[in-house]
Amino acid sequence: MRTPFGFSNPVHLCEKDGFRFLFVSRHGERGYEKTAPFVNYRANIYAAKSLGVERVIAWTGPGIISAGHRPGDLVLPDDLLDFTRNRPSTFYEGKGIGFIRQFPVFCAAMRAALLDAWRDGRRGIKMREGGTYACTEGPRLETPAEIRFLASAGADMVGMTLCPEAFLARELEICYAPVAYLTNYAEGVKPLPYRRGKLFEGMLPEDAAARVDRAKNAIPALAIAAAGLLSGRKRDCPCAVSMERYRSRGIIGDDFRDWVSPPRRRDG
């Protein structure tokens, strides 16, 4: 879709057992064509809002920082640390709006639905409720010192995709919740030898790869089941009214297209 921030990634209208939903692949249609720093997050979220989307379930594959986690676990993060540097992070450049509280960081109603959907299906995969996701700029992986720093800051996992996506969704009053599948150990968490030419160069033990694939492949059904539980339910959460203070003062109207600022620099 064409947006004021450039083209979004392709948006697919899908149907599963009579339930209709939209799907966007952040990184490309035929593989991992675009790394996280170069995803056009503003265009994707703007396109979703234009199509009437009220809730976004996102998936992400972070590395493990906290002891006790293992590759192939699923996690419902509940907090964020943003260490990105060069990504356009707001729709409201140059405007006096967008001063929005970031609590709860992710929609509580959506997280509850995801947990309920997992309990109903069980799927034989461990689900961890809660955890802090640190988002780094990428595309390079982190140094051991950076991982030690992130651990000291309270991070349980580290990835590259949730920021500014979660914050942009909040700016347009879209409920947002991620499901993380833990893909590997972050640098220095475990003493793992360097394996030339392999994914993560050895930070994913060979015997864990099948668990990771199983967790990743379970997410679509989990997301659809959770979305089905929420379908038709009126939203009664802070994310649904994040801009209410500006609306009630007459600073913005009902059409979100009038809220945003023209981009000051070109997105991807």
- Segment 208-216 shows an average pLDDT of 94
pLDDT digits (tens, 9 = 90+) for 166-209: 999 999 999 999 999 999 999 999 999 999 998 889 888 888 99
- Segment 144-155 shows an average pLDDT of 98
- Whole-number Å distance between alpha carbons of 250 and 170: 19
158 belongs to a structural domain: yes
42 belongs to a structural domain: no
Instruction: Evaluate if residue 265 carries a pLDDT over 80.
Output: no
- Whole-number Å distance between alpha carbons of 25 and 262: 25
24 belongs to a structural domain: no
14 belongs to a structural domain: no
Global pTM reads 0.95
Instruction: Evaluate if residue 268 carries a pLDDT over 60.
Output: no
pLDDT score at 123: 62
170 belongs to a structural domain: yes
Q: What total number of domains does the chain contain?
A: 1
CATH code (residue 141): 3.40.50.1580
- Whole-number Å distance between alpha carbons of 107 and 109: 6
**8 Å CB contact between 161 and 260:** no
* CA-wise closest residue to 108 among 194, 217, 235: 235
Q: Between 108-121 and 209-230, two packed helices, what is the crossing angle to 10 degrees?
A: 120
**8 Å CB contact between 34 and 158:** no
20 belongs to a structural domain: no
pLDDT digits (tens, 9 = 90+) for 87-139: 999 999 999 999 999 999 999 999 999 999 998 766 678 899 999 999 999 99
As a whole number, the mean pLDDT across the chain is 94
10 belongs to a structural domain: no
Fill in the amino acid letter for 66. Answer: S
CA distances from 148 to 58, 66, 85, 142 (A): 27, 11, 19, 10
Interacting residues of 162 by C-beta distance below 8 A, sequence separation 6+: 58, 60, 77, 80, 133, 135, 178
Instruction: Evaluate if residue 267 carries a pLDDT over 70.
Output: no
3-class SS of residue 223: helix
Domain residue limits at 138: 57-258
Instruction: Evaluate if residue 266 carries a pLDDT over 60.
Output: no
31 belongs to a structural domain: no
